[in-house]
Structure 1
Amino acid sequence: TLIAAVAALVAGAMSMAAGEYVSVSSQHDTEQADLSRERAELKADIVGEGEELAQIYRERGVDDATAHLVSRELMAKDALGAHARDELGITAT
């Protein structure tokens, strides 16, 4: 009975670990696909993407002039990082 209990405990732990690995791996794949799509959008239409970012800031309550200023400054430093964080909700790129 003790051996069966230990075996069940180990099997349960391994099952949980496998499930967590699949979940994290799937999340990572999704984030990488989102970042790849965002890179392409930035390359195709940097001006439109800047406006999109400014719109996100306006929706958060920032006035139009400040939203555009923040968008320009963040995109000048790291356009993909700004979009990943504020548009996609990805905090580590």
Structure 2
Amino acid sequence: MSASQDTTRTLQELCLQILATAQAPMRSGDVLTVILHLQTLGRTTKLLKVKHQKETVRTALKRLAEKGQLVKTEPGLYATARDDAPFGAAQKAEAA
């Protein structure tokens, strides 16, 4: 994220933005680590008052996958659903 502040309105949007800029698919714990790092930098306030942060991120990722905005490349591993995704990743997502 290049902006000084988080401009996303929802946790799902932030998760999408994180995964869209990732070099590889990520697990919910990895996405949470990025969000917590952004908090320490003062760039987001998302999840500050949430007790079960990892479960909240996991739920957001699952819902994005259900909407077709993310794909599961393997159990628990998420990537953005892009036209330029590797051919094998799309096949794995369809098989899951």
Give the number of the structure whose alpha-carbon radius of gyration is greater: 1
| TM-score, length basis structure 1 | 0.30
| TM-score, length basis structure 2 | 0.30
Q: Looking at secondary structure, tell me which structure has more helix per residue.
A: 1
The structure with higher relative contact order (CA 8 Å, sep 6+) is 2
